[in-house]
């Protein structure tokens, strides 16, 4: 499935269309791959898999961009993904501070920055201590 990102992604603002690539042997992880530059791709995991109580906060502008209401954001209508990072020196982490939100009903997506105190940009995937 392909999604339009009207604002692009931070640091990749020129990239406006991304495909969600899911493979059974890679599940529950998925790839968010640029339609224009296929070499640009991000490994993602469902945010609620990493934190069962995860609920992203969205502004009215965010809801308008995605074409949804507050009830959609709170429910299961949106896909909420955390971009994973695999540093050379350290364990893998997930960015829960800036989840990728996808609305399958409208085909729109965005990266939604959360308040700094709520979540970390380097949430540990395993039992390691959070990064600093």
Q: How far is CA 105 from the centre of its chain?
A: 17
CATH code, domain carrying 10: 2.30.290.10
Strand stretches in 1-129, DSSP E: 2-4, 17-21, 30-34, 41-46, 79-85, 93-103, 108-111, 123-124
Residue 129 lies inside a defined structural domain of this protein: no
- Which structural domain range is residue 29 located in? 2-124
Residue 74 lies inside a defined structural domain of this protein: yes
- pLDDT in the model for residue 70: 65
- pLDDT in the model for residue 1: 87
0.85 exceeded by pTM: yes
- pLDDT in the model for residue 123: 77
- pLDDT in the model for residue 80: 94
How many domains, in total, are found in the chain?
A: 1
Residue 97 lies inside a defined structural domain of this protein: yes
Residue 131 lies inside a defined structural domain of this protein: no
- pLDDT in the model for residue 88: 87
- pLDDT in the model for residue 81: 96
- pLDDT in the model for residue 57: 86
Residue 106 lies inside a defined structural domain of this protein: yes
- Which segments of the chain have a pLDDT < 70? 70-75, 116-117, 126-132
- pLDDT in the model for residue 126: 65
- pLDDT in the model for residue 89: 82
Residue 132 lies inside a defined structural domain of this protein: no
């Amino acid at each position: 499935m392909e999604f339009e990102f009207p604002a692009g992604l931070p640091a990749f603002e020129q990239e406006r269309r991304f495909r969600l690539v899911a493979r059974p042997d890679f599940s529950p992880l998925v790839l968010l791959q640029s339609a224009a530059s296929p070499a640009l791709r991000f490994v993602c995991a469902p945010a609620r898999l990493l934190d069962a109580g995860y609920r992203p906060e969205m502004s009215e502008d965010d809801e308008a961009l995605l074409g949804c209401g507050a009830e959609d954001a709170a429910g299961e209508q949106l896909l909420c993904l955390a971009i994973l990072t695999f540093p050379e020196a350290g364990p893998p982490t997930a960015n829960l501070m800036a989840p990728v939100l996808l609305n399958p009903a409208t085909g729109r997506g965005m990266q939604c920055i959360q308040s700094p105190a709520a979540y970390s940009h380097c949430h540990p995937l395993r039992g390691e201590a959070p990064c600093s």
